[in-house]
């Protein structure tokens, strides 16, 4: 019940805003903020009540939904989805507060879209029924379409249509894969009862993986992302980078690796190659961007390449580092987009060439920007370092691919320092342009928006144990499936999942031992 409340409470806020929007902008913003904060506070109960000693799903609710289709309202969380749920409920009120004074038209629609989007994202991370998962996956497209298409920049329609078309193309492939699993699973969409080996597992793997690779986005499926980021309103970019992209990496670890371990092993060299290309390509393209927002957008392509690399290392440190890096990227890149939005509201420009010397005029802004920049490039003591180090370590000790992949991927860390620090130097130091002499520093509301992000950036960097301990059992189960099963024969895999076959095989072995003993005598 607690998990259902967390998922659908934002929809209550949508209804409340729709009914009370006539009371003015303050009432609309107040309702949205209260609902966002309440959802986050309630979601903390998922963390405090979570049993880290087991890999089984917790807070499970299972009710009949469409009996004729064999689909149920089946939700639950494990140590992987727990953190993505908390990241979503944490970033939403931050975004509401960040957009407090930046939305001039259609405020009620904006807040309703933001809250509806939260429900869709939470549903994706909690659904244990494949049909329900697909419904949530598709439903989040609608509010995101409105956020970019109505409140975005000049080329918002182009960016929105491109975003939807890419996602829908991947969704079509995933739907085919879901239906195939449905018929192979005895006409059931229940994820917890899925057991392979599946027929045409390589094709099924690709159907799911391409859908998730588009959402990540993994090179070369990334071209929709810069347009969507640049044209989206500030909080749209925060949610897009902070949560929506993680739906892709979450799908890989939830479906692709444990359900199709043979196919995952087969395609690992190709996928890791694409991940390393994405790391280096994203960093090089970010380095030459004149637009602050587009620079941060391409940095996401690079950073999420590390996440994919860690997932396909198939080691506990690599996958744990990837899950932690999903959280780190949501915090650091979300903070960067918020800072870019704050300076854009003052200067109405995102071009790096229009700035310079801002540290003299805006010292608080410069200090926060510096911390977030160092976090993004993985400075020890901040969150980015822990995730990237675990990914590179897990990838180096794996037998899944050559260590040369890790060597090339590590150059992405160096390139990240180049483009982020060079950007920071050009914006914050040098001669202060006359146009920027009157820019005000961050106000109290903006500082309040940034402080929670800074808190977690430092906390994870200094003491990551509370974040890693909750996910270890769940990650360990994924590692066991993806490492052990590809080494087995088909008959062995079937026995592993069928207790009756195990019993029969044991009895057969005992009979053979008795016969051998009789022959010896």
Residue 511 has pLDDT above 70, yes or no: no
Over 50: is that where the pLDDT of 401 sits?
yes
- Nearby residues of 511 by Cβ (< 8 Å), 6 or more positions away: none
Hey, how many other C-beta atoms are within 10 angstroms of the C-beta on 474?
25
Identify whether the C-beta of residue 208 lies closer than 8 Å to the C-beta of residue 256.
Answer: yes
Per-residue pLDDT band for 105 (boundaries 50, 70, 90) equals: confident
Q: What is this structure's pTM? A: 0.90
DSSP one-letter code for 218: P
Share of the chain above pLDDT 90, in %: 77
**What's the rounded mean pLDDT across residues 424-435?**
86
Q: Is residue 379 over pLDDT 90?
A: yes
Q: For the purposes of burial, counting CB atoms within 10 Å of the CB of 153, is it exposed (0-12), middle (13-18) or buried (19 or more)?
A: middle
Average pLDDT estimate for 188-211: 91
405-427 burial: b if 16+ Cβ within 10 Å, else e: bbeebbebbebbbebbeebbeeb
pLDDT tens profile 258-291 = 999 999 999 999 999 999 999 999 999 999 999 9
Return the pLDDT at 264.
Answer: 94
Q: Quick one: average pLDDT of 463-479?
A: 93
Could you read off the pLDDT of 123-136 as tens digits, one per residue?
Answer: 999 999 999 999 99
Q: Examine the pLDDT at 503 and tell me if it is beyond 80.
A: no
For residue 349, give the DSSP letter: -
Residue 436: pLDDT band by 50, 70, 90 thresholds?
A: confident
- At 497 the pLDDT is 45
Residue 501's pLDDT band (cuts 50, 70, 90): very low
Beta pairing partners, 77: 58
Two tokens at 42?
A: 């309630």
Provide the residue ranges of all domains of the chain, joining segments of one domain with +. 489-521
The pLDDT, as a whole number, for residue 194 is 87
pLDDT of residue 517: 64
Phi and psi at 503, nearest 5°, equal -65, -45
- Secondary structure (3-state) at 335: helix
Mean pLDDT for 482-489 is 65
Q: How far is CA 150 from CA 96, 121, 158, 231, in A?
A: 17, 20, 12, 10
Choose among 302, 301, 384, 372: nearest CA to 341.
372
Radius of gyration of the chain (CA): 24
* Count of other CB atoms within 10 angstroms of residue 140: 23
pLDDT confidence of residue 218: 93
Q: Distance between CA atoms of 394 and 324, rounded to whole angstroms? A: 13
Q: What is the pLDDT of residue 509?
A: 59
**Confidence at 374, pLDDT banded by 50, 70, 90:** very high
Residues 24-67: tens digit of each pLDDT: 889 999 999 999 999 999 999 999 999 999 999 999 999 999 88
> Which pLDDT band holds residue 495 (cuts at 50, 70, 90)?
very low
Q: Find, among 177, 261, 185, the residue nearest to 212 by Cα.
A: 177
148: tokens are 């970019």
- For 222-252, what is each residue's pLDDT tens digit? 999 989 988 999 999 999 999 999 999 999 9
Identify the band that residue 434 occupies on the pLDDT scale cut at 50, 70 and 90. confident
**Beta-carbon count within 10 A of 455 CB:** 11
Q: Kindly state the average pLDDT of the residues 408-412.
A: 94
Rounded Cα–Cα distance for residues 402 and 112 (Å): 48
For 219, residues 6+ apart whose C-beta sits below 8 A from its C-beta are 274, 275, 277, 278, 281, 282, 301, 305
346 neighbors 439 (Cβ within 8 angstroms): yes
Whole-number percent of the chain with pLDDT over 70: 93
Instruction: Tell whether omega for the bond before 217 is within 30 degrees of 0, i.e. cis.
Output: yes
Q: Quote the tokens at residue 464.
A: 């990551």
pLDDT at residue 496 in the model:
44
């Amino acid at each position: 019940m607690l998990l259902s409340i967390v998922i659908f409470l934002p929809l209550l806020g949508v209804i409340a805003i729709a009914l009370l929007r006539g009371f003015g902008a303050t009432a609309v913003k107040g309702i949205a903020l209260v609902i966002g904060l309440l959802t986050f506070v309630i979601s903390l109960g998922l963390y405090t009540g979570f049993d880290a000693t087991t890999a089984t799903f917790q807070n499970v609710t299972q009710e009949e939904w469409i009996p004729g289709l064999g689909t149920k309202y089946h939700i639950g969380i494990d140590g992987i989805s727990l953190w993505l749920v908390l990241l979503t409920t944490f970033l939403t009120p931050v975004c509401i507060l960040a957009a407090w004074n930046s939305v001039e038209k259609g405020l009620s629609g904006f807040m309703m879209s933001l809250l509806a989007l939260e429900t869709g994202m939470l549903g994706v991370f909690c659904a244990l029924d494949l049909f329900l998962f697909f419904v949530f996956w598709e439903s989040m497209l609608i509010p995101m379409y409105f956020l970019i298409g109505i409140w975005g920049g000049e080329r918002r329609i182009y960016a929105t249509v491109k975003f939807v078309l890419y996602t829908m193309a991947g969704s079509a492939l995933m739907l085919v894969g879901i239906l195939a699993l449905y018929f192979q699973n005895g006409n059931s969409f229940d994820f917890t009862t899925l057991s392979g080996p599946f027929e045409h597992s390589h094709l099924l793997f690709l159907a799911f993986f391409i859908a998730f690779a588009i959402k990540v986005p993994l090179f070369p499926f990334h071209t929709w992302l810069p347009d969507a980021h640049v044209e989206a309103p500030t909080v749209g970019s925060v949610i897009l980078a902070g949560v929506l992209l993680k739906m892709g990496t979450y799908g890989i670890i939830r479906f692709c690796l444990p359900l199709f371990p043979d196919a995952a092993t087969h395609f690992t060299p190709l996928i890791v190659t694409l991940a390393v290309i994405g790391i280096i390509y994203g960093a090089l393209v970010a380095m030459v961007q004149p637009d602050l927002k587009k620079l941060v957008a391409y940095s996401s392509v690079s950073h999420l390449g590390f996440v994919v690399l860690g997932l396909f290392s198939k080691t506990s440190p690599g996958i744990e580092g990837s899950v932690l890096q999903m959280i780190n990227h949501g915090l650091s890149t979300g903070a960067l987009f918020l800072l870019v939005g704050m300076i854009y509201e003052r200067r109405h420009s995102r071009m790096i060439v229009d700035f310079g010397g801002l540290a003299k005029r805006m010292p608080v802004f410069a200090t926060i920007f510096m911390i977030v920049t160092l976090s993004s490039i993985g400075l020890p003591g901040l969150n980015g370092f822990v995730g990237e180090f675990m990914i590179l370590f897990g990838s180096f000790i794996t037998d899944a691919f050559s260590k040369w992949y890790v060597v090339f991927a590590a150059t992405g860390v160096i390139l990240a320092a180049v483009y982020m620090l060079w950007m920071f130097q050009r914006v914050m130091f040098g001669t202060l342009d006359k146009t920027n002499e009157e820019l005000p520093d961050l106000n109290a509301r903006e500082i309040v928006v940034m402080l929670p992000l800074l808190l977690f950036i430092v906390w994870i960097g200094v003491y990551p144990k509370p974040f890693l301990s909750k996910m270890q059992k769940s990650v360990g189960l994924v590692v066991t499936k993806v490492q052990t099963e590809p080494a087995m024969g088909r008959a062995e895999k079937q026995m592993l999942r069928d207790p009756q076959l195990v019993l029969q095989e044991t009895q057969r072995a005992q009979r053979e031992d008795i016969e051998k003993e009789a022959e010896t005598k």
